[in-house]
């Protein structure tokens, strides 16, 4: 090997060492996540199945699904007006609002850890459903005025749902899966169905709606005052709840 080739070889080795010295520390923080993703390739699927889509509820609740699909709740996440308004507020606040708006309009996505600025086409399908079935029917605590900071209990389609009642014939359906064409486990054939219902009194009261429909940006400064308007209305004086006008009062 000539002296020139030897020097060139040394330079290549030094360059390779320098590149490794610079890049490995940068890549190291990403390695645990990469290894985790490789170890559990279905992690994203499992995460999304913990919040069942309204489409999964539709086979048994067709009329309610049809009504929901044309509602403001169904469009809460994809509404151009919402996004324009949210972006304007974020700009005025110099980017400090965080999840203040999306935690109501995209509550499942927010709870799954999707960042506020994530575009719709990159969000999970359940996030794009806006206020979907599980957004209300998997809430088991009374939150009150919390500006949308509620907790939706995760669980696949077979986990119990929350409602104002449990349904008089629900037990009969579960006891006769072949006749009703339902599946109580992944291994059974039929339409997957939740295996229980939890009675939750507040879901049928106006107070249940307060957590998203009374919004204060600062003590004494309110962005949305639907709850205040309701309390001063003839409906409230007559004991008529939000649900009696805005929600179908039937258990299927």
Chain centroid, CA 14 distance in Å: 51
14-30 per-position pLDDT tens digit:
444 443 433 333 333 33
Hey, where are the domains in the chain?
1-41, 42-246
Percent of the chain with pLDDT over 70: 79
d(CA 93, CA 80): 20
101-111 per-position pLDDT tens digit:
999 999 999 99
Amino acid 153: pLDDT = 94
String of b and e for 224-236 (b: at least 16 CB within 10 Å)? eeebeebeeeeee
If you average pLDDT over residues 58-63, what whole number do you get?
Answer: 92
pLDDT at residue 2 tops 70: no
Is the Cβ–Cβ distance between 133 and 163 less than 8 Å? no
134 vs 19, 103, 148, CA distance in Å? 50, 14, 15
Amino acid 47: pLDDT = 52
Q: Between 99 and 4, whose confidence is greater?
A: 99
194-210 per-position pLDDT tens digit:
999 999 999 999 999 99
Label residue 219 by pLDDT band (50, 70, 90): confident
Least confident piece of the model among 5-9, 125-129, 186-190 = 5-9
Q: Between 34 and 11, whose confidence is greater?
A: 11
Closest CA to 141 of 195, 210, 196, 203: 203
pLDDT at residue 31 tops 70: no
Q: Between 178 and 18, whose confidence is greater?
A: 178
Amino acid 46: pLDDT = 47
Amino acid 166: pLDDT = 81
If you average pLDDT over residues 166-187, what whole number do you get?
Answer: 90
If you average pLDDT over residues 80-92, what whole number do you get?
Answer: 94
Amino acid 80: pLDDT = 95
40-56 per-position pLDDT tens digit:
554 455 455 899 999 99
């Amino acid at each position: 090997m000539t002296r020139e080739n030897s020097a060139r070889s040394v330079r290549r080795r030094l360059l390779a060492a320098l590149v490794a010295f610079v890049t490995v520390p940068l890549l190291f923080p990403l390695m645990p996540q990469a290894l985790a993703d490789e170890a559990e390739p279905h992690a994203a699927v499992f995460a999304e199945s913990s919040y069942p889509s309204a489409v999964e509820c539709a086979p048994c609740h067709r009329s309610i699904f049809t009504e929901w699909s044309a509602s403001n709740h169904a469009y809460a996440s994809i509404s151009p007006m919402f996004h324009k308004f949210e972006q304007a507020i974020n700009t005025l606040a110099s980017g400090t609002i965080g999840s203040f708006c999306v935690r109501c309009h995209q509550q499942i996505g927010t709870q799954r850890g999707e960042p506020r600025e994530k575009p719709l086409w990159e969000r999970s399908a359940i996030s794009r459903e806006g206020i979907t079935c599980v957004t209300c029917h998997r809430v088991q605590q009374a939150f009150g005025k919390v500006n949308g900071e509620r907790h939706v209990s995760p669980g696949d389609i077979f986990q119990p749902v929350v409602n104002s009642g449990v349904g008089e014939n629900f037990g009969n359906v579960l006891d006769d899966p072949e006749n009703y064409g339902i599946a109580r486990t992944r291994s059974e054939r039929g339409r997957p169905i939740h295996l229980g219902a939890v009675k939750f009194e507040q879901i049928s009261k106006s107070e249940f709606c307060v957590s998203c429909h009374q919004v204060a940006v600062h003590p004494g400064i309110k962005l949305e005052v639907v709850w205040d308007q309701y309390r001063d209305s003839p409906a409230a004086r007559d004991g008529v709840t939000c649900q009696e006008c805005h929600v179908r009062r039937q258990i299927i």
